Amino acid sequence: MGYGADAAKRHGGVGRIDLRSDTVTHPTPEMRAAMASAEVGDDVFEDDPTVVELEERAADLLGKQAGLFVPSGTMGNLVSLMAHVARGGEVITPAEGHIPNDEAANYAVVVGAGLRPIAETPEGEMPLDAIEEAIQDGSDPHSAITSLVVVENCHAHTFSRPITPAYMKALRGRLAAKKIPIHVDGARLFNAAIALGVPARDLVRDADSASFCLSKGLAAPIGSVVVGSKEFIWTARRARKLLGGGMRQVGILAAAGLVALSDGPEGTVQRLADDHVNARRLAEAMTEMPGVLSPGHIAQPIGERLDPSRVATNFVIFKVEGGVKRRAKFLEQLEKRGVLMVAYPHGQIRAVTHYGIGASEIDATIAATREALRASA
Ligand SMILES: Cc1ncc(COP(=O)(O)O)c(C=O)c1O
């Protein structure tokens, strides 16, 4: 299906109002300034002071012993799997999650792991009983051994809804006796923290490791950070090297991440709240438009009309009447009006708010959506 590469090409990589993803954000002026003046060293020797500072800052924010800067969220998940899972081990993941669907089967190709996908609830949670039922120990020679449980927070395909600390605690309770570790794919962990009004560390307290992306709503140009125990991070560091992800004077990039995580006005964590307000307003306007339907899938399986109360963070997921043919026409008409959204699995469409999308862009998107619906009917 792709994520709108053709549209990006037509726009020279920059849509006028580009709601395909929060990955399209450009760095803030403060980030560019910090990058230009960053102190650097050779990070493979672990002597890039800016990278060290970022890793310590991330570990501190998330209440873990150590951090590791990696180029992408995909690599963050991959090195975590490599550190937790022995060849032939099995990973329990949400069925619609990023790891099983959007990481080119790296769990199989690189880790040599099997997956046990579990259908999520509309809240993005795998039911605890289903997890417990899926667990396999080494007592049966037929079975792979359950080696890791992954939680995605926010869970993208359910309107990027945040997973609560209470769920994490209950999950930990079920797994503790079996000594199965938990990894949080927290690509948008700070969106979850802001939406729930809790410190980000509360969301990963009951996890052994977590990764989060600097390059999505936090607006840094590149990078993710993996956090966990010192021992885990050492193994993940070796895995990063194996994958060719050991970088040199990469403090230039880490500097932008430090700005993102800053407590000062230049930080980009608190501003995520604006994205959530904007997404909700867009959904509220869209629900009134003839031709807009609910996603009809796990994001909102019940009800014909898009329910704006499902929007807890920065994703709006919906369908248009008339199936995928109409969807293609609608997206084309929208693009003609300078707005990009993206086709999403199961016939859905996704619009994501982010840094650079303010109230006036939302007004323009609402108007363009209304017109595109008419023109594609
Ligand atoms: C939930 C989730 N995990 C991981 C990733 C991977 O991040 P990256 O694109 O930086 O590899 C994404 C990217 O969109 C994501 O949405």
Q: Ligand 1 centroid vs 292 CA: distance in angstroms?
A: 27
The CATH number covering residue 206 comes to 3.40.640.10
The predicted structure's pLDDT at residue 4:
44
Which residue has 């199936």 as its token pair? 323
pLDDT confidence tier of residue 301, bands split at 50, 70 and 90: confident
Residues 76 and 18 in one domain: no
76 falls within a domain: yes
User: Greater confidence, 56 or 16?
Assistant: 56
How does pLDDT run across 346-372, given as a tens digit for each residue? 999 999 999 999 999 999 999 999 999
Decide which of 260, 284, 311 is a domain's last residue: 260
Q: Is 98 in the pocket of ligand 1 (CB under 6 A)?
A: yes
69 and 261 in contact (C-beta within 8 Å)?
no
Is any ligand 1 atom within 6 A of the Cβ of residue 156? yes
Asked if residue 218 belongs to a domain, the reply is: yes
Q: Is 195 in the pocket of ligand 1 (CB under 6 A)?
A: no
pLDDT score for 299: 87
Task: Answer yes or no: is 265 within a domain.
Answer: no
Question: Do 132 and 173 lie in a common domain?
Answer: yes
CB distance 213 to ligand 1 below 6 Å: yes
161 has pLDDT over 50 = yes
pTM > 0.75: yes or no: yes
Q: 65: CA distance to ligand 1 center in Å?
A: 23
Q: Do 13 and 53 belong to one domain?
A: no
In a domain, residue 293? The reply is yes
Confidence at residue 87, expressed as pLDDT on a 0 to 100 scale:
97
162 and 274 both lie in a single domain: no
pLDDT(241) > 50: yes
For residue 9, the model assigns a pLDDT of 44
Cβ–Cβ under 8 Å, residues 237 and 209? no
Residue 152, ligand 1, Cβ within 6 A: yes
User: Over 50: is that where the pLDDT of 11 sits?
Assistant: no
Residue 94: its pLDDT value, please? 98
Q: Per-residue pLDDT averaged across 210-222, rounded?
A: 98
Of the candidates 146, 128, 129, 148, the residue with the CA atom closest to the CA atom of residue 137? 146
Over residues 251-276, the pLDDT tens digits come to 999 999 999 999 999 999 999 999 99
Identity (one letter) of the amino acid at 306? L
Q: How far is the CA of 216 from the centre of ligand 1 (A)?
A: 9
- Arithmetic mean of pLDDT, 213-224: 98
pLDDT of residue 303: 83
Average confidence score pLDDT of the chain? 95
Which domain covers residue 338, as residue numbers? Answer: 5-25+270-376
Same domain, 48 and 64: yes
For ligand 1, atom 5, name the residue with the nearest CA: 73
Whether 1 has a pLDDT exceeding 70, the answer reads no
pLDDT digits over 288-297, tens only? 999 999 998 8
* Structural domain contains residue 346: yes
Q: What is the pLDDT of residue 188?
A: 98
pLDDT above 90 coverage of the chain, percent = 93
3-state secondary structure the chain: CCCCHHHHHHCCCCCCEECCCHHHCCCCHHHHHHHHCCCCCCHHHCCCHHHHHHHHHHHHHCCCCEEEEECCHHHHHHHHHHHHCCCCCEEEEECCCHHHHHCCCHHHHHHCCEEEEECCCCCCCCCHHHHHHHCCCCCCCCCCCEEEEEEECCECCCCCECCCHHHHHHHHHHHHHHCCCEEEEECCHHHHHHHHCCCHHHHHCCCCEEEEECCCCCCCCCCEEEEECHHHHHHHHHHHHHCCCCCCCCHHHHHHHHHHCCCCCCCCCCCHHHHHHHHHHHHHHHHCCCCEECCCCCCCCCCCCCCHHHCCCCEEEEEECCHHHHHHHHHHHHHHCCEECEEECCCEEEEECCCCCCHHHHHHHHHHHHHHHHHHC
Residue 10 has pLDDT above 60, yes or no: no
Residue linked to tokens 């990696």:
70
Do residues 128 and 174 touch, judged by C-beta distance below 8 A? yes
Is 275 a member of any domain?
yes
Q: Is residue 20 part of a domain?
A: yes
Q: What is the pLDDT of residue 39?
A: 98
pLDDT band at 13 (very low <50, low <70, confident <90, very high): very low
Residue nearest to atom 4 of ligand 1 (CA): 73
Place of tokens 């003046």: 37
Number of domains in the chain: 2
Confidence check: pLDDT of 333 > 80:
yes
Please list, in sequence order, all residues whose beta carbon lies within 8 angstroms of the beta carbon of residue 145, skipping any fewer than 6 positions away: 86, 88, 89, 90, 136, 137, 138
Same domain, yes or no, for 216 and 293? Answer: no
* CA 158 to ligand 1 centroid distance, Å: 15
46 C-alpha to center of ligand 1: Å? 26
Q: Does the Cβ of 20 fall within 6 Å of ligand 1?
A: no
Could you tell me the distance, in angstroms and rounded to a whole number, from the CA of residue 138 to the centre of ligand 1? 32
Q: Ligand 1: distance of its center to the CA of 102 in Å?
A: 8
Predicted local confidence at residue 375, as pLDDT: 98
CATH value at residue 330: 3.90.1150.10
How many Å lie between the centroid of ligand 1 and the Cα of residue 187? 6
Q: Among the three residues 199, 226, 260, which one is the final residue of a domain in this structure?
A: 260
Q: Judge if 192 and 207 occupy the same domain.
A: yes
pLDDT at residue 117, rounded to an integer: 98
80 C-beta closer than 6 A to ligand 1 = no
Do 227 and 307 lie in one domain? The reply is no
Closest atom of ligand 1 to 97 CA is 1
Q: How far apart are CA 218 and CA 73, in angstroms?
A: 13
198 shares a domain with 322: no
Distance, CA 73 to ligand 1 centroid (Å)? 5
- The mean pLDDT value for 243-251 works out to 98
Instruction: Please identify, by atom number, the ligand 1 atom nearest to the C-alpha of residue 215.
Output: 10
At 3 the pLDDT is 43
| Alpha carbon distances (Å) from 4 to 126, 335, 354, 357 | 30, 11, 17, 19
Name which residue sits closest to atom 7 of ligand 1, judged by CA. 73
Q: Which of 205, 235, 260 is the last residue of a domain?
A: 260
Distance 98 CA to ligand 1 centre (A): 7
Q: What is the pLDDT of residue 302?
A: 85
Q: Using CA positions, which residue lies closest to atom 15 of ligand 1?
A: 187
72 lines ligand 1 (CB under 6 A): yes
Considering the domain architecture, whether residues 171 and 274 belong to the same structural domain is answered as: no
- pLDDT of amino acid 12: 41
Does 138 share its domain with 278? no
Give the sheet arrangement for strand 66-70, strand by strand. 66-70, 224-228, 209-213, 182-186, 146-152, 90-94, 114-118
Ligand 1 contact via 30 beta carbon (within 6 Å)? no
- Statement to judge: residues 56 and 137 lie in one domain: yes
Let me know if residue 249 belongs to a domain: yes
